Structure 1
């Protein structure tokens, strides 16, 4: 590993610090530019809360859309039993895996503050052997960059960022995600970007269940002690947003593994979400969304990148948002796979799926997401987002964006 005391390290830290100012400023501006003033965004939040009674189901029973109910029935799954706990059956024969088989009916009240806090990090760790497999295509390992805590309230400083919760065979799990713009439905996006391994187990598994996005999770960055008796508003100020459809790459579905595997270079996903209660779009409610940069710039052309997320594995506990900024290098797991971006960063599991951003012509855009990292948590790697990623995005926007 390259030492932080090497002569080049101070210059790299200086570049990152200088770039950080512009990147954070642009991200902050995005938080207000898309949704008007912060006060207006707060008003939207109040409106969303006020509309819960009006939009709630009269008999208290969750109404599952007909297409989802029909899909469950096709696989021999009883809808009522599913929402009453049947989803906990992870029998291999009932674990839906194919892209067309995703189902995620809303189970209102499932993701309460204590259950969110119990969720374990969804970590994709590569071994030392994996990381050195194709060093001929990889740049030297970057010096670690210490993650820094994002300023609170998060809505004022990194409004598009949040947490993705889901259930796996091992129990509740958590990743990070980003609200992204929907080019076909401007100003009213319900799209979230995260990692493929946060929604699907890859080649040896299927779709995870009860997938929910929580924007500006723990908005004020309160400690575990302060949240010991937290109410829903404290932990999820803009509500829970259930994924009614999710799309990831076929390469991840077929080749993803517990250490990334052949699917790591394609480890991305787009969620279309809807509020557990309320009717406004995610972008309107949060007041922010980011464009996605599908130009797949080379590591040398990309400039400084910043990774945001909620690391949950020690020494972090998943309650606070952190960020790292660094010049990316190339990382490759195989000569047959596209190279990935790699930056120095000490964020751990739980930051998976969190967006990587860069400034393009003064505008902050999502350019990658956290996918894999080493056992000693000194760097992160994320996929380049090119034509394949854009096709996943366009499919979600055109097919589900208008809902």
Structure 2
């Protein structure tokens, strides 16, 4: 029988997330202990009021790498040749391609699950806490614009095709009330040690607002699928550890598998936070895992038995997972969510009736049943601060 304490804590977390969501509809106005990481900083594009032409700095950057900007927009981005796949922190480019992410294209995107085998986990034995019991993921209440507005779905292109992850609108300390920042996983924006930056990255908050079935969503108006619209990333940061050591099963970069995106405001210049109506604060000094009574993960699981159309959540008492004696331990909770939930935020109560983000979904075992996410300490704060300052008010 499940213990009472996590269930009571779960109720509090669910209520808190609902309180952070906007009460407006989509058309209304209204300390971690990891070492400092080397932030991977992308080159920014201007975030003008709806100017979707290819910015000159991005065009120049493509030319530097021998890529014709017009060819890029007309399909050259599909060339994943090792010599042209931009990988270094300074080389990120993500020019807006109008009409690329049509609803039908979003619906065919796949999940980039990072799964661990028993051998992957063996080196951490003796430090990890016992494997948690599975916690069945529960669908979030609808409409998401009221019950989970900060949570959304990430779409991007990889050599394997169109992919999906999850993300969270987070507060920006240098732009209070006007944040354009989204928290996600490093493996949702960069392939790690064997590849480079993914392309055509967009964020859709409160995707599929009323959890419609695929056939019903296809027949519904666009505002059902993207109630707040789609936001293109114009700047991305992730950890240097992820770029150097991230791999298909997480690799040595898994404890540093986090990323911060700055998205381009839509026409009119309203920020993402103003449009959605809320954002979640990030806590880089959360207590040790063993002192947290409950932690909740939100996201859009797309691997079987889920289909990626419905926002889900899991709440459990967290434990520690160690992948190596030389890297920080990760948070781990019981949860049945699958790939596609990667990058989704992990929350704890902030003590005032709201929530704060303390991790994101990174890896899971092949057999399912639990999720693990990085502890956010000085390295994660450095990544966050880099992008926040870049777009801070003067």
**TM-score of the two chains, using structure 2 as the length reference:** 0.92
Change (3 A) 1:56 1:186: closer
Instruction: List aligned pairs for 1:44-123, cutoff 5 A.
Output: 44=29, 62-123=52-113
Instruction: List aligned pairs for 1:106-145, cutoff 5 A.
Output: 106-145=96-135
Contact 2:299 2:342 in 1 (8 A): yes
Residue aligning to 1:369: 360
Residue aligning to 1:187: 177
Residue among 200, 207, 212 paired with 1:210: 200
Structure 1, 273-282 or 120-129: larger mean CA deviation? 273-282
Extract structure 1 runs of 4+ deviating beyond 3 A.
Answer: 275-278
Q: Which has the higher contact order (CA 8 A, sep 6+)?
A: 2
> For 2:99, what is the secondary structure of its paired residue?
coil
1:131 Cα deviation after fit: 2.3
Residue aligning to 1:396: 387
1:229 Cα deviation after fit: 3.1
1:138 Cα deviation after fit: 0.3
Distance 1:201 1:343 in 2: 25
> For 2:210, what is the secondary structure of its paired residue?
coil
Whether 1:43 aligns to 2:28 is: yes
Residue aligning to 2:2: 10
Q: Deviations over 1:354-379 (max 9, x none)?
A: 00000021230000000000011100
Distance 1:92 1:105 in 2: 20
Residue aligning to 1:346: 336
Gaps (5+ residues) in structure 1?
A: 1-8, 46-54
1:401 Cα deviation after fit: 4.3
1:402 Cα deviation after fit: 4.8
Distance 1:56 1:399 in 2: 20
Contact 1:202 1:255 in 2 (8 A): yes
Contact 1:163 1:217 in 2 (8 A): yes
Contact 2:296 2:313 in 1 (8 A): yes
Contact 1:239 1:275 in 2 (8 A): no
Distance 1:277 1:110 in 2: 17
Q: CA RMSD in A?
A: 1.7
Q: Deviations over 1:247-290 (max 9, x none)?
A: 00000000000000000000000000014544210000000100
Q: Number of matched residues?
A: 376
1:132 Cα deviation after fit: 3.0
Contact 1:161 1:216 in 2 (8 A): yes
1:38 Cα deviation after fit: 2.1
Residue aligning to 1:48: none
Gaps (5+ residues) in structure 2?
A: 31-48
> For 1:203, what is the secondary structure of its paired residue?
helix
Whether 1:310 aligns to 2:296 is: no
Distance 1:231 1:72 in 2: 36
1:303 Cα deviation after fit: 2.4
Instruction: List aligned pairs for 1:217-296, cutoff 5 A.
Output: 217-275=207-265, 277-296=267-286
1:305 Cα deviation after fit: 0.3
Residue aligning to 1:19: 9
1:31 Cα deviation after fit: 1.6
Residue among 278, 287, 290 paired with 1:297: 287
Distance 2:157 2:191 in 1: 11
Whether 1:166 aligns to 2:156 is: yes
Change (3 A) 1:73 1:231: farther
Residue aligning to 2:38: none
Structure 1, 71-80 or 229-238: larger mean CA deviation? 229-238
Structure 1, 372-381 or 66-75: larger mean CA deviation? 66-75
Q: Deviations over 1:103-158 (max 9, x none)?
A: 00001111111100100001100112112332111000000000000000011111
1:56 Cα deviation after fit: 5.6
> For 1:43, what is the secondary structure of its paired residue?
coil
Q: Deviations over 1:142-179 (max 9, x none)?
A: 00000000000011111100001000001000000000
Distance 1:373 1:157 in 2: 26
Distance 1:345 1:388 in 2: 26
**TM-score of the two chains, using structure 1 as the length reference:** 0.90
Which has more helix, going by share of residues? 1
Distance 1:82 1:88 in 2: 8
